[in-house]
């Protein structure tokens, strides 16, 4: 666990979160001055910015809120980190492209299809303007989430365990990673002094349907409850890319290792269910 090797402070917004051996402090990201005050009270070496308005539908309904949370607050954090010379890790997304090509590389110009992607894309620009050495991580992750925030794997496991049917898209492709591999890879990129944009995703590209089928098999759940669906048959949803897979070659070559395929990650996910971190997250 990263908190065995680092002292971790959670900067909180509305929700209270208590974790063992982790300090929590409320922080406003609304002004650079407030952020500087916060940094001067805790002296961080590294800041990981994970804030986001992550609902694609909500971003589309309220674009000014999306740009405020996803772009403006990221710019404020980057400005404060830039002024104090703090290493910034900014969490971005795989939602930045039209979906024409698989395994997109970091050098490809972004072309987001919706407000969520556009606001996260402009955050990347603002972050690098304000903090040129920032490390920007584009990713798509899953793992055991708290009761109030289901990850994609949580949704699959919970639904199938209840014996309920589940619809999954066969025409949406991605390269998901388990949170444990994401966290370790980001930590190691930071240790080697990486800066700029890195894709930290799994090695394997698959559809959301195939991911669900793999989860069901690893957790010995009823695959017959999974129904095939298509994003292209859902015209009421906000436009999204059908292809979100990213290439992790740059990250793998800097780290000198692969980031693992879905089966390897799902073996870890199953093992984690019996561990202390799982119990801690379930009690949040
Ligand atoms: N989940 C994925 O697979 C995925 C994929 C690609 C990228 N990402 C990126 O990864 C990051 C984390 O995603 P997530 O799925 O963990 O998101 P999440 O569960 O929706 O969490 C969003 C966080 O942002 C905070 N927040 C919201 N409004 C804020 C504000 N005005 N000021 C300060 N904090 C605010 C929330 O705090 P409160 O709850 O206290 O309001 C919450 O902690 C996001 O930047 C997202 O774009 C996620």
Q: What is the pLDDT of residues 124-141, one digit of tens each?
A: 999 999 999 999 999 999
Lowest mean pLDDT among 9-18, 155-164, 177-186, 241-250: 9-18
| 44 Cα–ligand 1 center, Å | 20
The pLDDT of 101-110, averaged and rounded, is 97
Q: How far apart are CA 167 and CA 169, in angstroms?
A: 7
| 144 Cα–ligand 1 center, Å | 15
Answer yes or no: is pLDDT of 276 > 90.
no
The more confidently predicted of residues 179 and 1 is: 179
In residues, how long is the chain?
A: 284
**Straight-line distance from the first to the last Cα atom of the chain, in angstroms, rounded to the nearest whole number:** 18
Beta-carbon count within 10 A of 179 CB: 20
| pLDDT at 64 (0 to 100) | 98
| pLDDT at 4 (0 to 100) | 81
Answer yes or no: is pLDDT of 273 > 80.
yes
212 falls in which pLDDT band (50, 70, 90)? Answer: very high
The pLDDT of 216-234, averaged and rounded, is 97
| pLDDT at 28 (0 to 100) | 96
pTM of full prediction above 0.75: yes
The pLDDT of 195-210, averaged and rounded, is 98
Q: How far apart are CA 64 and CA 115, in angstroms?
A: 10
Q: What is the DSSP string of the chain?
A: -GGGTS-EEEEESSS----TTEEEEE---S-HHHHHHHHHHH--SEEEE------HHHHHH-HHHHIIIIIIHHHHHHHHHHHHT-EEEEEEES--S-SSSSSB-TTSPP--SSHHHHHHHHHHHHHHHH-TT-EEEEE-EE-PPPTTS--HHHHHHHHHHTT--EEEESS-EE--EEHHHHHHHHHHHHHTT--EEEE---S--EEHHHHHHHHHHHTT--GGGEEEE-GGG-TTSPP--SB--B--HHHHHHHTS----HHHHHHHHHHHTTSHHHHHHHT-
Q: What is the DSSP string of 105-116?
A: -TTSPP--SSHH
The more confidently predicted of residues 1 and 268 is: 268
pLDDT tens string 2-55: 788 889 999 999 999 888 899 999 999 999 999 999 999 999 999 999 999 999
- Find, among 146, 177, 174, the residue nearest to 283 by Cα: 146
| pLDDT at 38 (0 to 100) | 96
Ligand 1 atom at minimal distance to the Cα of residue 12: 40
Say if ligand 1 is within 6 A of residue 133 CB.
Answer: no
The angle at the Cα of 198, spanning 193 to 202, to the nearest 5 degrees, equals 120
| pLDDT at 148 (0 to 100) | 92
Structure-token match 């395929």, residue found: 261
Say if ligand 1 is within 6 A of residue 15 CB.
Answer: yes
Say if ligand 1 is within 6 A of residue 21 CB.
Answer: no
Which protein residue has the closest C-alpha to ligand 1 atom 23?
Answer: 51
Which neighbouring-strand residues pair with 268? none
The angle at the Cα of 235, spanning 212 to 243, to the nearest 5 degrees, equals 50
77 falls in which pLDDT band (50, 70, 90)? Answer: very high
pLDDT tens string 63-74: 999 999 999 999
Structure-token match 């005050």, residue found: 37
Say if ligand 1 is within 6 A of residue 162 CB.
Answer: no
């Amino acid at each position: 666990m990263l908190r065995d090797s680092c002292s971790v402070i959670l900067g909180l917004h509305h929700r209270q979160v208590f974790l063992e051996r982790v300090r929590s402090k409320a922080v406003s990201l609304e002004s650079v001055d407030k952020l500087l005050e916060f940094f001067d009270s805790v002296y961080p070496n590294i800041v990981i910015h994970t804030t986001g308005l992550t609902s694609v539908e909500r971003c589309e309904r309220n674009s000014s809120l999306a740009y405020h949370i996803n772009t403006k607050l990221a710019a404020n954090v980057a400005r404060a980190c830039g002024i104090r010379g703090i290493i910034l890790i900014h969490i971005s997304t795989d939602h930045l492209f039209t979906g024409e090509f698989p395994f997109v590389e970091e050098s490809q110009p972004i072309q987001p299809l919706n407000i969520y992607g556009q606001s996260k894309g402009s955050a990347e620009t603002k972050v690098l303007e304000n903090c040129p050495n920032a490390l920007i991580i584009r990713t798509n992750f899953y793992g055991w989430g708290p009761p109030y925030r289901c990850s994609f794997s949580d949704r699959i496991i919970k639904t199938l365990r209840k014996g309920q049917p589940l619809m999954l898209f066969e025409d949406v492709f991605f390269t998901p990673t388990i949170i444990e591999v994401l966290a370790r890879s980001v930590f190691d990129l930071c240790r080697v002094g990486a800066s700029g944009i890195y894709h930290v995703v799994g090695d394997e590209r698959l559809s959301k349907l195939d991911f669900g089928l793999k989860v069901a098999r690893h957790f010995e759940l009823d695959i017959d409850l999974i129904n095939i669906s298509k994003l292209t048959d859902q015209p009421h949803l906000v436009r999204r890319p059908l292809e979100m897979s990213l290439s992790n070659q740059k990250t793998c070559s800097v780290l000198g290792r692969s980031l693992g395929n879905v089966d390897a990650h799902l073996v870890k996910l199953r093992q984690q269910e019996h561990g202390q971190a799982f119990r801690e997250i379930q009690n949040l």
